[in-house]
Amino acid sequence: MRALFFINFKPGLISRPEMQHEFTSHSGWGHSKFEQRAVLASLLRRRSADQFIVKCDIIVLNGFRVEEEAASATIPPSDLHKHLGDLLQSGRGTDVVFEVGGEAFAAHRCVLAARSPVISADLLGAAIDGATAAGVVRVDGVEPRAFRALLRYAYIDSLPEMDKEEEDAILRNLLVAVDRYGLQRLKLICEDKVCKLLNVATVEITLALAEQHHCDRLKEACLQFLGAPANLRVGGEAFAAHRCVLAAQSPVISADLLSAEIDGAAVAGVVRVDGVDPRAFRALLRYAYTDSLPEMDNEEEDAILRNLLVAADRYGLQRLKLICEDKLCWLLNVATVEITLALAEQHHCDRLKEACLQFLGAPANLRAVMGARGQ
């Protein structure tokens, strides 16, 4: 835009019209010449004033002209990844072969070298140095499924679809491989996917993996999973516990009590536990947290301990099983010795079995037991 502008002193501040000054510019971009400070100061002295107002008039000589832009062409999205994927799939121009777990994978050195200097040095160094047989590079410590996914990512920057039953195992092995080859973005992708696949059966091995390969986000997810409460229902009563505590006490508890969450057998997040008396399960939880048993009512102690012994044997808590055996040995009486002996036989409690036989070996005890039977 080109404009002509005039700057004049406001007439009200000037006593005579001839004192009016005009500053013009024909360039359209600012003053071609500014008035000197002394001239402006002399104008103020003549008026006995200490300030003045400047009025600016702008005359637009020609306005804006907007031209219609031609419609831009529709540019399709980049399909470079598709072409590189086709190149890998077809095997055209491959110049290196990897042997992974008995399977052969053909690839292009330049693509792999561009993706990671570590891949270039570690995987291709042997081929360059002539240390391979017939141009084949052997890769150890990586499963073929994981290596196939790694190659696909190297070419098209995304992972293939995986079988749901195998996905977790593939991703864990892939995470190890990408940490080894310095593919940080793929490592983060694996971490994110494994976080979403955490379950009772895999959380412990995943936590160890996260520790070993410095996967902080995955480690935090594992700890949060283990710290979340497990809601258990036993004989109509609800019990809340922590997965990490139960898993630390016994892998059998972790697998047996919490596997229902994996199989979808839990209703509204509550796992049902059958075959255990609520009183015995309460004692079992107390032991899992404190390594000791709670005080029990004398009239109920014998029955609770027998049921608790069954649960301890079921969940592989050998120390608790021995504690129950020891206490039951001291509580043997005519009314319970037969059922306790059957329990000892069924759950391979040799010490308890011997105590029962010794109790029955006493003639007075045996007569009492026979008398209780009505014989």
Provide the pLDDT for residue 8.
56
Separation CA 80–CA 66 (nearest Å) = 38
Q: Is 57:8 a contact under the CB 8 Å cutoff?
A: yes
pLDDT digits (tens, 9 = 90+) for 282-338: 999 999 889 999 999 888 999 999 999 999 999 889 999 999 999 999 999 999 999
Q: What is the pLDDT of residues 221-248, one digit of tens each?
A: 888 877 767 777 888 888 888 777 877 7
DSSP class of 61: E
Closest CA to 307 of 270, 347, 271, 272: 347
Span between the terminal Cα atoms of the chain, in Å: 124
The CA distance from 188 to 185, in Å, is 5
Look at residues 285, 295, 371, 365 and name the one whose alpha carbon lies nearest to residue 333.
365
pLDDT, tens digit, for every residue of 106-157? 999 888 888 888 877 766 665 555 555 566 888 888 999 999 999 999 999 9
Number of Cβ atoms within 10 Å of the Cβ of 208:
12
Q: Cβ contacts of residue 322 below 8 Å, gap of 6+?
A: 351
242, 230 contact by CB (below 8 A)? yes
Residue 263's pLDDT is 52
pLDDT digits (tens, 9 = 90+) for 257-274: 555 554 554 444 577 788
CA angle 123, 124, 128 (to 5 degrees): 150
What pLDDT is recorded for position 14? 44
- 3-state secondary structure (DSSP) of residue 271: strand
- In 3-state terms the chain splits into helix, strand, coil percentages (rounded to 5) of 55, 15, 30
CA distance 273 to 314: 12
CA–CA gap between residue 356 and residue 336 (Å, rounded): 10
Domains of the chain: 2-62 (no CATH), 81-227 (3.30.710.10), 229-331 (3.30.710.10)
Count CB-CB contacts under 10 A for residue 205: 13
List the alpha helices (DSSP H) in 16-116: 37-47, 80-90, 109-115
Q: Look at residues 128, 168, 124, 130 and name the one whose alpha carbon lies nearest to residue 146.
A: 168
pTM over 0.85: no
